[in-house]
């Protein structure tokens, strides 16, 4: 490729920008990473691509966005939520099927004609029985755990079969009797500290608390170190009385409330661990079979009320390190206790049953024209819940229905979007992202032309806006947030947001889209302003009454989120100018990721120069990102380059030891799950001090980043 003089000078100008700009991306937050999003109203964008302006007009004579924004309604959202939470709807149950039909019927009633209820075979496990007892050495019973959530008079739906069936999804059946060891959050570093103290978890039942990492990985970490059973409890420090008043007086977790949840090893492979919808199961796509993707030791999630006597039985053994101390009024100790034993038993019913995705499609106005290729935008939320799921996930379902109703109003006026829009109500998310992953895998070819994926899971559990996503969508998000006001504070949402766009880890339905298919994704929500996860998460009290009285009285945040989500949808599916992707943000973020690698390389004493090929590739990408629009490319082609560049970050062979995860820029942390690792292949090998492997991964990542640069700049197809 020969470079002409003007383009050479252009690139010099770009370098000027690079040098002048202060890189402020990626503030590490509690083991996660974030991109600091510039305020679109400030002058910080002087050096941005000059081309991120989107003009929002429609082909028809009316303003689609203005018309849309009139529709989302708080009391309609409340009605949706009341209906969906009227009955438990755990994946694959009759209640789940009923709610799938409700969502389908609602979508059709808005004038969306192409709506289907798609059944997928799923490997699930339902609770039958479990028990947990503490004995002293001569076999007398000291304590028997309740393992049930009490009926509350003020919570009208709390009297349900499920309150007595608190359980861990995919916990295998089994019985274990052993001394107890307390292992804090169950992270590798927690087990490392125990080892340093001489506390052995081999043959023990391990008690860990919720927080810091995905629950299944706590079990994986315990199992790898020889534990024969695991108990996970909710310490009031994380989501109980330390945060505020307990439910029903306040929103936080009461003493006997239990966080249910999947025990799957989701950082190894997302989706159904058995994949009965594929002829050969999970092994070919994941590199693991079902038994490798779920625990082989029994697991029970418990309340702090049930954990208290267990922790008390350890007092007087080895005093736990300061970082292990929770908020309960006792001296946290690690054990093992030589005078007591814990006995636990789990019986779950494993079976293959149908689950139901509801998929609605709004066609593009170009459909049927010669040469038309669909470039769909996908919006999605899961519907299945651990019991009623008023916040998780059905606040998002109520919002999605309001978005759909708004789009339906536009359709009624003769509008059609430039790009087709899929609206998906996923099933089986709680067990391990089953419905969305199956759909993404089975529609991979169609999705190779997808524009983006917009996810809302727990739409409202508090009043603070929070977002994770692909940095190319950061400018678009910031723009939308500067145009929608907080319902109570009368200020644009962007003024109340910390402006940290978190790097996507895992734990919701965007995982297959970004990590497996390379589709730019956003995940947005309102969370409690303490920064904690909301108190009734995955309990029987995540109910309509909780939302109505504690979570979002008045449902104004439901309405607000529907507006944000709807505007994002319209600007991606119906942009009349250039697609609002900003790759300079991506380049900024990558520079920060490289800094993180440099730090890791230093810590692990890697050979100098190991990262050089990757640094060069990132610089190339930055040049490409800043040159977007400098070349005279046909608009449609340029839009494809903007949207599809993300695909170039996929490595065909996948990440080391987990080939289903193909994205070289980010993946859920191998031992963290919810949180993310950046340049995960490189960082993994560096942590293992495998420098040959690290250099291999540097080359893989550099190749993908260079390919992305070449594609974005139009030098490669
Ligand atoms: Zn959820």
- What the chain holds in terms of domains, given with CATH numbers, is 5-30+582-712 (1.20.930.40), 64-123+358-573 (3.40.630.10), 126-350 (3.50.30.30)
pLDDT on residue 61:
53
CA distances from 16 to 5, 458, 623 (A): 17, 43, 11
pLDDT at position 500, please?
96
Q: Mean pLDDT across the stretch 221-235?
A: 97
The alpha carbon of 400 and the centre of ligand 1 are apart by a number of angstroms equal to 14
Q: If we measure between CA atoms, which residue out of 557, 419, 420, 424 comes closest to residue 493? A: 557
pLDDT at 393 over 80: yes
* Average pLDDT over all residues of the chain: 92
- Give the bridge partners for 233, in sequence order: 209, 302
Q: Which residues are known catalytic residues?
A: 429
27 alpha carbon – ligand 1 mean position (Å) = 25
pLDDT given for residue 100 in this prediction: 98
pLDDT of 526 above 50 = yes
What's the pLDDT at 4? 39
Least confident residue range of 15-24, 377-386, 490-499: 15-24
- Residues 193-207, mean pLDDT to the nearest whole number: 97
Q: Is the pLDDT of residue 608 over 80?
A: yes
Q: Identify the DSSP state of 549.
A: I
- Whether 516 shows a pLDDT value over 70: the answer reads yes
pLDDT surpasses 70 at 29: no
CA distance 139 to 80: 52
HEC string for 78-129: HHHHHHHCCCCCCCCCHHHHHHHHHHHHHHHHCCCCEEEEEEEEEEEEEEEE
Q: Is it the case that residue 671 has pLDDT exceeding 90?
A: no
User: Once rounded to an integer, what is the mean pLDDT over residues 115-136?
Assistant: 98
Q: Is the pLDDT of residue 58 over 80?
A: no
Quick one: the chain helix, strand, coil %, rounded to 5? 35, 20, 45
Counting beta carbons within 10 angstroms of the beta carbon of residue 279, is it exposed (0 to 12), middle (13 to 18) or buried (19 or more)? exposed
Residue pair 570/56 in contact (Cβ under 8 Å)? The answer is yes
Whether residue 60 has pLDDT greater than 50: no
How far does residue 458's CA lie from ligand 1's centre (Å)? 6
| 237 CA to centre of ligand 1 in angstroms | 22
Ligand 1 centroid from CA 325, angstroms? 29
Neighbours of ion ligand 1 (CB under 5 A): 392-393, 457
- Mean pLDDT throughout 431-445? 98
d(CA 103, CA 101): 5
Residue 157 has pLDDT above 60, yes or no: yes
- Tell me if 686 sits within 8 A of 597, measured CB to CB: yes
Question: Angle at the Cα of 516 (from 513 to 517), degrees rounded to 5?
Answer: 60
Q: Which residues contact 528 (CB under 8 A, 6 or more apart)?
A: 243, 251, 461, 462, 463, 464, 534
217 CA distance to ligand 1 centroid (A)? Answer: 18
Burial group, residue 612, by CB count within 10 angstroms (0-12, 13-18, 19+): exposed
Q: What pLDDT, on a 0 to 100 scale, did the predictor assign at position 400?
A: 98
Which of 16-25, 248-257, 293-302, 394-403 is least confident? 16-25
Q: At what angle do helices 635-644 and 691-712 cross, to 10 degrees?
A: 160
Query: What does residue 193 show for φ and ψ, rounded to 5 degrees?
Result: -65, -40
pLDDT at 676 over 80: yes
Chain segment 566-578, per-residue pLDDT in tens: 999 999 999 878 8
Bigger pLDDT: 674 or 233? 233
Q: How confident is the model at residue 632 (pLDDT cuts 50, 70, 90)?
A: low
Kindly tell me if the per-residue pLDDT of 13 is higher than 70: no
456 CA → ligand 1 middle, Å: 9
* Cis amide leading into 150 (omega within 30): no
Contact 163, 288 (CB under 8 A): no
| 37 Cα–ligand 1 center, Å | 25
Beta bridge partners of 231: 207, 300
**What integer pLDDT is reported at residue 3 of this predicted model?**
37
Tell me what pLDDT residue 575 has.
Answer: 86
Q: Flag whether pLDDT at 243 surpasses 50.
A: yes
What's the CA-to-centroid distance between 436 and ligand 1, angstroms? 12
Is a pLDDT exceeding 90 seen at residue 49?
no
3 state SS of 207: strand
Q: 431: CA distance to ligand 1 center in Å?
A: 10
Q: For residue 102, what pLDDT is reported?
A: 98
342 Cα–ligand 1 center, Å = 32
Q: Which phi and psi angles does 430 have, rounded to 5°? A: -65, -30
DSSP structure string for 43-82: GGGTTS-TT-------SSSS-HHHHHHT---HHHHHHHHH
- Do 440 and 380 meet the contact criterion of CB atoms below 8 Å apart? no
**So what's the pLDDT on residue 31?**
41
Band (pLDDT 50/70/90 cuts) for residue 46 is very low
Rounded mean pLDDT of 156-183?
Answer: 98
Identify the weakest region by mean pLDDT among 44-53, 408-417, 456-465, 624-633. 44-53
Q: How confident is the model at residue 287 (pLDDT cuts 50, 70, 90)?
A: very high
Residue positions counted in the chain: 717
Q: Is the pLDDT of residue 53 over 50?
A: no
């Amino acid at each position: 490729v020969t470079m002409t003089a003007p383009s050479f000078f252009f690139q010099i100008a770009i370098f000027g920008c690079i040098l002048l700009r202060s890189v402020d991306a990626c503030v590490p937050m509690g083991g996660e990473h974030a991109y600091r999003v510039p305020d679109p109203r400030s002058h910080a964008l002087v050096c941005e691509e000059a081309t991120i302006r989107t003009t929002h007009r429609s082909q028809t004579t009316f303003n689609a966005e203005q018309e849309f924004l009139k529709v989302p309604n708080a009391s309609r959202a409340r009605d949706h939520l009341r209906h969906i939470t009227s009955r438990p709807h755990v994946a694959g149950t009759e209640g789940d099927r009923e709610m799938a039909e409700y969502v389908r019927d609602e979508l059709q009633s808005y004038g969306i004609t192409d709506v289907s209820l798609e059944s997928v075979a799923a490997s699930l496990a339902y609770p039958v029985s479990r028990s947990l007892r503490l004995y002293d050495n001569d076999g007398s019973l000291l304590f028997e755990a309740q393992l049930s959530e009490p009926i509350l008079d003020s919570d009208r739906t709390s009297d349900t079969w499920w309150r007595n069936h608190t359980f861990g999804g995919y916990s295998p059946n089994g019985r274990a009797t052993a001394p107890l060891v307390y292992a804090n959050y169950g992270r590798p570093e927690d087990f490392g500290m125990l080892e340093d103290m001489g506390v052995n978890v081999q043959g023990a039942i391990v008690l860990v608390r919720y927080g810091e990492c995905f629950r299944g990985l706590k079990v994986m970490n315990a199992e790898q170190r020889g534990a024969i059973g695991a108990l996970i409890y909710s310490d009031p420090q994380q989501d109980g009385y330390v945060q505020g008043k307990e439910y029903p007086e306040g929103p936080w977790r009461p003493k006997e409330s239990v966080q249910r949840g999947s025990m799957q090893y989701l950082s190894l492979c997302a989706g159904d661990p058995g994949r009965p919808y594929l002829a050969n199961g999970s092994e070919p796509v994941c590199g693991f079979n079902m038994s490798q993707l779920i625990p082989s030791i029994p697991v029970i999630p418990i309340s702090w009320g049930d954990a208290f006597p267990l922790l008390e039985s350890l007092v007087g053994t080895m005093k736990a390190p300061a970082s292990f101390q929770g908020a309960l009024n006792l001296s946290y100790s690690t054990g093992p206790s030589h005078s007591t034993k814990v006995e636990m038993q789990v019986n779950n019913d494993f079976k293959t049953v149908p689950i139901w995705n509801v998929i609605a499609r709004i066609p593009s106005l170009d459909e049927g024209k010669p040469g038309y290729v669909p470039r769909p935008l996908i919006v999605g939320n899961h519907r299945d819940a651990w019991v009623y799921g008023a916040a998780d996930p059905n606040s998002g379902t109520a919002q999605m229905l309001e978005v759909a109703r708004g789009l339906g109003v536009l359709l009624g006026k003769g509008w059609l979007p430039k790009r087709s829009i899929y609206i998906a109500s996923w099933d089986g998310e709680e067990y391990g992202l089953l419905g969305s992953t199956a759909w993404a895998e089975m529609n991979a070819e169609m999705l190779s032309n997808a524009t983006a994926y917009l996810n809302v899971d727990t739409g409202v559990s508090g009043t603070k806006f929070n977002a994770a996503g692909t940095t190319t969508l950061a400018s678009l998000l910031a723009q939308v947030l500067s145009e929608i006001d907080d319902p109570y504070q009368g200020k644009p949402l962007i003024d109340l947001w910390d402006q940290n766009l978190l790097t996507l880890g895992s734990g919701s339905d965007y995982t297959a889209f970004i990590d497996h298919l390379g589709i730019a994704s956003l995940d947005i929500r309102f969370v409690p302003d303490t920064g904690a996860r909301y108190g009734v998460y995955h309990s029987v009290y995540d109910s309509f009454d909780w939302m109505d009285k504690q979570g979002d009285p008045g449902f104004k945040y439901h309405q607000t989120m529907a507006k944000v989500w709807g505007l994002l949808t319209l600007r991606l599916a119906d942009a009349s100018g250039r697609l609002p992707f900003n790759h300079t943000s991506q380049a900024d973020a990558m520079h920060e990721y490289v800094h993180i690698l440099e730090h890791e390389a230093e810590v692990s004493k890697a050979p100098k120069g190991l990262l050089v090929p990757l640094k060069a590739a990132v610089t190339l990408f930055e040049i490409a990102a800043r040159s977007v629009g400098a070349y005279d490319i046909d608009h449609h082609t340029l839009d494809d380059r903007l949207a599809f560049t993300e695909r170039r970050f996929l490595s065909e062979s996948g990440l080391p030891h987990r080939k289903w995860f193909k994205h070289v820029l980010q993946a859920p942390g191998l031992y963290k799950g919810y949180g993310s690792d950046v340049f995960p292949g490189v960082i993994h090998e560096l942590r293992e001090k495998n420098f040959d492997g690290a250099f291999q991964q540097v080359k893989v990542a550099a190749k993908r980043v260079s390919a992305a640069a070449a594609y974005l700049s139009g030098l490669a197809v």
